[in-house]
Amino acid sequence: MNEFKRQSEAEAFFWNNSLIPPDTRDKTFENYPLKTATESQIAAFSKIKWYAENFGQWEGFDSLMLQGSYGVGKSHLAHSAAMHIKSLGKKVAFINTKMLLRRIRNAYGERSKETEEGILQNIEKSDFLVIDDLGAEYVKKDKGGEESWGADLMLSIVESREHAPTIITTNYNSQDLKNKYGQHGGRIVSRSLTGAKVIKIQGPDNRLEVATSGW
């Protein structure tokens, strides 16, 4: 396959299968706010940029979990990595969990041309996947108070990505994720951390900084 065709297919795969929040779609390593970043954010930037630039050449791990509070740049860095890896001609998808659940619910509508199985198959076959905002999705709890369908779905996805290059972003620590997903919590966290390095990011809420600048 020539380079042009490979890149064209990578672009098509990305845009057909990604679910990216509007405020994340333009994020790259080049526009990351390093000038105002904390030491923790700068360290995370360096590690994630290295991960993307050395795609497939890592030793001892293949994935990353980015943990931190709201607005510290987790999604920015994950999307930056996705864009760089896509430029290498790889099949990449960036999936926001809340948007994914909405898309799958819509797939059950009478007029939908999509199916849950088809959506998940495309996610599973990507060379690199970002699972953005794990734990932020809301699903009605079952009678026992456990997260039901959403937890089943997340478990299926993380199991399919075991030992496959993936970046997961989350506002939760590991224990909170376990609590969030009830009976599936331990397995979801275990699968998410298999072959992964955890990067904890600390800093101010960048969205708040932008919103209040100049006032």
Residue 135 lies in a domain: yes
Asked if the model's pLDDT at residue 112 lies above 90, the reply is no
Total domains present in the chain? 1
Residue 54 lies in a domain: no
Asked if the model's pLDDT at residue 213 lies above 50, the reply is no
pLDDT at position 211 is 41
- Express each pLDDT in 142-198 by its tens digit: 666 555 788 889 999 999 998 899 999 999 999 999 888 888 889 999 999 999 999
Residue 24 lies in a domain: no
Can you give the residue range of the structural domain that contains 85?
3-18+39-45+59-203
The enclosing domain of 64 has a CATH number of 3.40.50.300
> What percent of the chain lies above the pLDDT cut of 70?
90
Strands ordered across the beta sheet of 166-170: 92-96, 128-132, 166-170, 63-68, 196-201
Average pLDDT, the chain: 90
Asked if the model's pLDDT at residue 1 lies above 90, the reply is no
Residue 122 lies in a domain: yes
- Express each pLDDT in 123-134 by its tens digit: 889 999 999 999
Written as one letter, the residue type at 199 is I
- What does the alpha-carbon distance between residue 98 and residue 132 come to, in Å, rounded to a whole number? 9
Residue 210 lies in a domain: no
